[in-house]
């Protein structure tokens, strides 16, 4: 399995890797994940609907084939690399935690929370677009490149002897922000912006400064009412506004639960 990970993405079936990984432990998974926040169950359930311990909410969703590979790769990275890293770091820092998590542990909690929220913030709005036949390959390409960039940046930090957890949290926050703004907000459903983002996102990395700059330019154009450069879409519906709130509310819920039960639950 480790040899397969050295292949190009096009040669690796990350959905199969993830599927095999989460099923390999059998009933042990139930004992493990019942101790975790429900968002973990939802995140995996979106990608693997038949997973026995998927949340009821996730089990009702339909698969989105175009998202299978990028989301599976990100979830596989989370399970195989990020969570073990978080566990090792938490144990090494346990002597500093006297009643409340220290700053490093709080940042690590943010990293984990953002990664799980990223999966949901991508899946929920795009599952509806896919159902309506409106999911464009160009948008999936942006998602794939941004997720690759996030993984690459996190790995760079994780390889260091003293990982900069605040920087890791910021990387995740920026990626999460791009998805929340681009996908959940109907005002940002613009083919031109998607084309620009796809053009400036590098093949193996994500230039977040460029992506944020494009988004800010888009907002400026709309604010100035420059119809020649950007057409303003209609006001969002109540359902669309609710989707826009999912990312921040889920992250807040995750962090509150982890703080209540203790970081190393």
Give the Cα separation of 174 and 164 in Å (integer): 16
Residue 230 has pLDDT above 70, yes or no: no
Residue 258 predicted with pLDDT over 50: no
* Residue that wins the pLDDT comparison between 38 and 130: 130
Mean per-residue pLDDT of the chain: 68
CA dist 142 and 132 (Å) reads 20
The more confidently predicted of residues 209 and 5 is 209
Mean pLDDT confidence for 15-38? 71
Higher-pLDDT residue of 259 and 22 is 22
Q: How many helices (H) and strands (E) does the chain have?
A: 12, 0
Q: Which of 35-39, 104-108, 110-114, 157-161 has the lowest mean pLDDT?
A: 35-39
Q: How does DSSP assign 208-253, residue by residue?
A: HHHHHHHHHHHHHHHHHT-TTT-PPPPPPPHHHHHHHHHHHHHHHH
Q: So where are the chain's domains?
A: 29-54+67-89+104-261
pLDDT at 185 over 70: no
- What is the per-residue pLDDT for 36? 57
Averaged pLDDT, 209-226 = 60
Q: What is the pLDDT of residue 249?
A: 53
C-beta separation of 107 from 92 below 8 A:
no
């Amino acid at each position: 399995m480790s040899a397969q990970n050295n292949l190009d993405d096009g040669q690796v079936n990350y959905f199969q890797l993830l599927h095999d990984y989460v099923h390999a432990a059998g009933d042990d998974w139930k004992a493990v994940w019942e101790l975790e926040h429900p968002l973990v169950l939802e995140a995996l359930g979106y990608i693997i609907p038949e997973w026995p311990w998927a949340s009821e909410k996730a089990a009702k969703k339909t698969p989105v084939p175009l998202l299978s590979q990028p989301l599976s790769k990100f979830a596989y990275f989370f399970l195989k690399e990020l969570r073990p890293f978080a566990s090792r770091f938490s144990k090494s820092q346990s002597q500093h935690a006297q009643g409340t998590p220290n700053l490093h542990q709080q940042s690590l909690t943010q990293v984990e929370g953002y990664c799980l929220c990223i999966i949901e913030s991508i899946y929920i709005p795009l599952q509806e677009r896919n159902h309506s036949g409106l999911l464009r390959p160009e948008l999936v390409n942006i998602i794939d490149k941004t997720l690759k960039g996030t993984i690459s940046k996190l790995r760079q930090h994780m390889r260091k002897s003293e990982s900069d957890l605040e920087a890791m949290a910021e990387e995740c926050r920026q990626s999460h922000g791009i998805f929340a703004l681009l996908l959940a907000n109907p005002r940002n459903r613009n083919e031109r912006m998607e084309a620009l983002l796809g053009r400036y996102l590098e093949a193996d990395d994500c230039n977040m400064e460029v992506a944020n700059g494009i988004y800010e330019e888009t907002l400026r154009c709309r604010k100035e009412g420059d119809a020649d450069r950007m057409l303003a879409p209609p006001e969002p519906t109540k359902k669309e506004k609710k989707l826009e709130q999912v990312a921040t509310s889920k992250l807040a819920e995750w962090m509150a639960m982890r703080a209540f039960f203790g970081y190393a639950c």
